[in-house]
Amino acid sequence: MEPGALEAELTCAVCLDVYQDPVALPCQHRFCVKCIEGVWDQTVGPGGFECPQCRRKFNPRPGLERNFTLCNIVEKYNRSQPPADPACVVCDYCDDNPSPAVKTCLKCEIALCSIHLKPHLRNKAFSGHTLIEPVAELADRKCPDHKKILEFFCKDDGECLCGSCITEKHKSHTLLSLDQAQAAIKEEWERETEKLRGVQQNCSSKQRDLGRSEAEIKTQIRELKGKLSKSFSEWRRQLEEDEEYALTLIEEEGLRALAQIRSCSEALNKRMEQITLIDGQTQCLVQRDPLSFIQNSKQLLSRVTETQRVTDPDVPALTLNLFNISQLIQERLNGWEKYHSDILGIIRPASTEYRGPSTVTPPPHSSSGAAPVPWIAIKQSIGIRGRTGISQGQSSPMGLDPKTANWNLVLSDDLRSVTWTGQEQPYPPHPERFIDQPQVLCSQSFSSGSHSWDVETDGNFWAIGIVCGSVERAKRESLLGYSSKSWCLYYWGGVSGSLRARHNSQLTDLPGFGPVSRIRVQLDYEAGTVSFHQVTDSLRHLHTFHTTFTEPVFPAFYCWNKSLKLLN
């Protein structure tokens, strides 16, 4: 590695100098211990401590452990640096006009210019003197104990020695000349820097992988946004057409009902006018003389009798025929499931292929406790009880709804399994998420028909059932079976535990049943029943609830200490 590149690797990003007592943070960026402590003492904020380079937050403050390997590399690097610029060292013999020194004699302990160096080179009396590159301060090259020049290196103790040091403390140690020691240290330094180069290459390779991942994700985002925008544009266009269709149906039905009202009103008015005319003629006849009264009364009485025999107009119960409108709108809205499936078809394959460490979270919507797609709300607003989710006689796979999952639940990639964990997951807040209980709902809801699904159980604490979409999402009432809007079968307590049914906080013990590994739930919406069976080689009935459903219901699951899995 080039000296400049190595120095850059050993430079603290705070003081911009070679490390002094380097330490590494959890993000692997390194600093002088005094530098990072000084930064944190001055800049710590409410978000905790952060790395000055990558801005990663740490809370609490991480421990600062000295990196001994890096310390050794820094120390060897400092020893390998050339001495001070010779131009700043002047000859000790030049008095009036000092000349730059070209050598320093360790024996004479003087700096020599090119003129005054000549005797050392010609005179045999100086042949035993050691000449080195000029140094300004010889004190650093002397033994602090004996004040003699350091000439040897003790391999055992890793320190430089003078001749007196050898005779006192290092007689049996392995000694090297300074040239030999330099060669050995350089060899070790090369090995260590080679390791650093390997680390650098590994980091560079990972950086390239991240770059490729970034490009792939950006491409995926662009493609997904394009596909989704196209689908939602079509969805909005179709929704506008369906809105116009529904409004037209209402308008036409209203005109029909109002026309019928006007027709009945005209017939009644005509009848009342006839009666008023006869009444007026009667009053006039009463005021005539007796003979005229008698002569005309018979004819008038005949008209009164005839008018009485006429049947009054039939006035039926005049209301809007919303039943027919509901049927027509339902037939039109049945196609909306296709848009929902198309959008999930765009997102789910992509989430399986590119899934990273973070959890895929569907976009939030404004409904709270209602069905997750807008056409269900449309149906509910006009009184339609159409099918949602799995249709009778079909075998469509069910899936768990991530936006309802409690923070202590982990959903599988295919949204078919749920596992409890003691570590809260980074799910965003959502009005449909269960806050206090480890529960999750299916994405599908049912508002008609018969449906069934099997669940594989694992663990000692679980509950399986159904809930209304408007069930509580927090506090005690959100627990399955603790309100009038949830029905469940639950197991509590291991091998010797108990199996119970629960609705509206009312418990029904189911004695004689040990742990159950597979449960079948059967729902008949119109009949108002939800039944539970143990699945082995045959079905064994466990319990049936009887009720009247008034809103869509969702399959629901409580999972604590192990996992639950949908099997169909």
Q: What is the mean pLDDT of the chain?
A: 81
Is pLDDT above 60 for 381? no
CA distances to 24, 31, 42 from 16, in Å = 16, 10, 18
Give the lowest-confidence range in 130-139, 157-166, 209-218. Answer: 130-139
Q: What is the pLDDT of residue 316?
A: 65
Q: Give 524's strand partners.
A: 450, 529
Predicted confidence band of residue 139 (pLDDT cuts 50, 70, 90): confident
Predicted confidence band of residue 93 (pLDDT cuts 50, 70, 90): confident
- Identity at 294, one-letter amino acid code: I
Q: Which residues contact 124 (CB under 8 A, 6 or more apart)?
A: none
Residue 135: name the closest of 80, 83, 78 by CA. 83
Q: What is the pLDDT of residue 373?
A: 40
Measured distance CA(389)–CA(548) in Å, rounded: 19
Contact 557, 419 (CB under 8 A): no
Measured distance CA(124)–CA(101) in Å, rounded: 21
pLDDT 10s digits, 298-326: 777 887 787 777 777 666 666 777 767 77
Q: What is the pLDDT of residue 387?
A: 33
Give the lowest-confidence range in 153-167, 311-325, 361-375, 524-538. Answer: 361-375
pLDDT 10s digits, 32-62: 888 888 888 877 666 678 888 888 888 888 8
User: Would you give the DSSP letter of residue 423?
Assistant: S
Burial of 388 (0-12, 13-18, 19+ CB in 10 A): buried
Measured distance CA(307)–CA(302) in Å, rounded: 9
Q: What is the pLDDT of residue 208?
A: 92
pLDDT 10s digits, 516-568: 889 999 999 999 999 999 998 888 999 999 999 999 999 999 998 789 999 87
Measured distance CA(404)–CA(28) in Å, rounded: 37
pLDDT 10s digits, 263-302: 888 888 888 888 888 888 778 877 778 887 777 777 778 8
Residue 416: name the closest of 363, 456, 387 by CA. 456
Measured distance CA(228)–CA(232) in Å, rounded: 6
Size of the chain in residues: 568
Residue 353: name the closest of 414, 298, 419, 433 by CA. 414
Secondary structure element (H or E) that encloses residue 8, with its range: helix 3-9
Q: Scanning the structure block, which residue is given the tokens 């078919």?
A: 416
More confident residue, 266 or 440: 440
Q: What is the pLDDT of residue 95?
A: 78
Q: What values do phi and psi take at 27, rounded to 5?
A: -85, 5
Is pLDDT above 50 for 367? no
Q: Evaluate the CA torsion angle 230, 231, 233, 234 in order and state its sign.
A: positive
Highest-pLDDT range among 86-90, 249-253, 383-387, 409-413: 409-413
CA distances to 295, 394, 428 from 465, in Å = 87, 20, 25
Q: What is the pLDDT of residue 243?
A: 87
Q: What is the pLDDT of residue 14?
A: 80
Mean pLDDT of 66-89: 69
Q: What is the pLDDT of residue 358?
A: 34
Q: Which residues contact 144 (CB under 8 A, 6 or more apart)?
A: none
Measured distance CA(91)–CA(112) in Å, rounded: 5
Share of the chain above pLDDT 90, in %: 26
